[in-house]
Amino acid sequence: MRAALGLQKCMLFVDKFCVDQADSKRKEAGILGLAGFLECSEKLVVCWSPKYFTRLWCAYEIASWFFLQKPASVIIFRPLAQEVMTLLILLSVSLFCMSLDILRIGFPHLHTLSIRSCFGIAVVILFQRGVTQAIRSLVLLEEQLANFSIKQTKCYCCTHDHKNPDNGEVIPCDRKLVYATLREWQEPMCQSQDEALSFFDNYVQTSFATSVLDRASALRYPYTQLLFVTQPMSWRAADLLAAYGSMPLGDLAWWVASYLGLGFLILPGFYKLLFHVVAHADRLSGIPSNVFKDWLVSIGHMICGIVLLILMTSAPDVLAQKCATSTPVIAYYIGIAILDLSLFDGWRAVGCLYRKR
Ligand SMILES: [Zn+2]
């Protein structure tokens, strides 16, 4: 397809499949050549799972990138948990929107605030557990980076006591090879192997961690990504606009504004608040290892999510019904915008814009 479109060939080096895992000689050659492949690479894509920083080979890849003096900012760091969370939120918002359409068209007499809240609650219950697990995984990433030590990583040879479990043959130690390479790379700066390893650990814990966590962390989950997943609400606004002329203009304007408010302000704020609740509740209780306690904490998260969702999404409707003027509703949206700015570190961006002027 790329050739047909006249685009450059896209070459990929996938470590797991491109380094021979069976033949020890070819494996060693592949490992020694890893830095060479990385030198020719424009980008390094890391698909992170909690096992990533526990593997010697993954740490060695990062070490090679560091040795080649390539910036950590061009590493595309994709925690799989973040992708799962994005998908779950997108599914939950889409399902909620669909349920609203079914109610509006099929059962207009049921299209009330309380029934809509019930659908919202059902959607939160359905996806809360998955989102909680994903947030926990991202919190673990922060801990792994803060406490990283290459000596703590695992590799196949050391785990199997340097003997092939199938035929008892001796396997050469990968760790010795990696450590010797790290020592060689940092020869002028570090006098001993231990010093070289500590130097690398420090790099991962500080500048590498800062670069990664700026883009991949539950509590720094960017507004743009949440905006992307809450867009089904804006599609509903567009859908309603298409119905122009079929309902009073005032009602139409109210519905369109309320869905845009949900998609752009309320839901991104709601999800970010929920991430904070889950992360802080876990930190306070310690992530429970006991299954029963774990579910109990998850139910606590769920209740918090439901209460937050009802409070945040139904407030504009309640204010519109109870107050004679639209001022309280506008004030509410301004309040949510200020909350979003604080949650997504927006004040820094506003400050930068102000200084540029
Ligand atoms: Zn070993």
Q: How far is CA 320 from CA 255, 309, 326, 330, in A?
A: 12, 18, 7, 10
143 alpha carbon to ligand 1 midpoint, in Å? 25
The pLDDT value given to residue 113? 62
Q: Are 141 and 79 in contact (CB under 8 A)?
A: yes
Q: Does residue 327 surpass a pLDDT of 70?
A: yes
Average pLDDT over residues 166-182: 86
Average pLDDT over residues 26-55: 86
Q: How far is CA 216 from CA 120, 153, 208, 212, 235, in A?
A: 27, 22, 12, 6, 27
Q: Does residue 112 surpass a pLDDT of 70?
A: no
Average pLDDT, whole number, for the chain?
83
The pLDDT value given to residue 345? 77
69 alpha carbon to ligand 1 midpoint, in Å? 27
31 alpha carbon to ligand 1 midpoint, in Å? 14
CB atoms within 10 A of CB 156: 15
Span of 78-87, 126-135, 266-275, 326-335 with lowest mean pLDDT: 126-135
Annotated domain spans of the chain: 1-81+145-218
The pLDDT value given to residue 6? 78
CB atoms within 10 A of CB 186: 19
Q: Does residue 31 surpass a pLDDT of 80?
A: no
- For 202-238, what is each residue's pLDDT tens digit? 999 998 898 888 777 767 778 888 888 888 888 888 8
- For 332-341, what is each residue's pLDDT tens digit? 999 999 999 9
The pLDDT value given to residue 150? 94
* Percent over 90 (pLDDT), the chain: 11
SS3 192: coil
* Closest of 134, 138, 104 to residue 119, by C-alpha: 104
160 alpha carbon to ligand 1 midpoint, in Å? 8
- Protein residues with C-beta less than 5 angstroms from the ion ligand 1: 157-158, 173, 175
Average pLDDT over residues 292-320: 84
45 alpha carbon to ligand 1 midpoint, in Å? 26
Span of 25-29, 152-156, 310-314 with lowest mean pLDDT: 25-29
Span of 159-168, 183-192, 326-335 with lowest mean pLDDT: 183-192
Torsion sign over Cα 292, 128, 140, 78:
positive
The pLDDT value given to residue 335? 95
CB atoms within 10 A of CB 147: 12
- Of the pLDDT bands very low, low, confident and very high (cuts 50, 70, 90), residue 116 is low
According to DSSP, residue 164 is labeled -
161 alpha carbon to ligand 1 midpoint, in Å? 7
146 alpha carbon to ligand 1 midpoint, in Å? 25
76 alpha carbon to ligand 1 midpoint, in Å? 29
Q: Does residue 169 surpass a pLDDT of 80?
A: yes
312 alpha carbon to ligand 1 midpoint, in Å? 54
159 alpha carbon to ligand 1 midpoint, in Å? 7
Q: Which residue has the higher pLDDT, 206 or 248?
A: 206
177 alpha carbon to ligand 1 midpoint, in Å? 9
28 alpha carbon to ligand 1 midpoint, in Å? 13
Single pTM value for the model: 0.74
Average pLDDT over residues 321-336: 90
According to DSSP, residue 9 is labeled P
The pLDDT value given to residue 147? 94
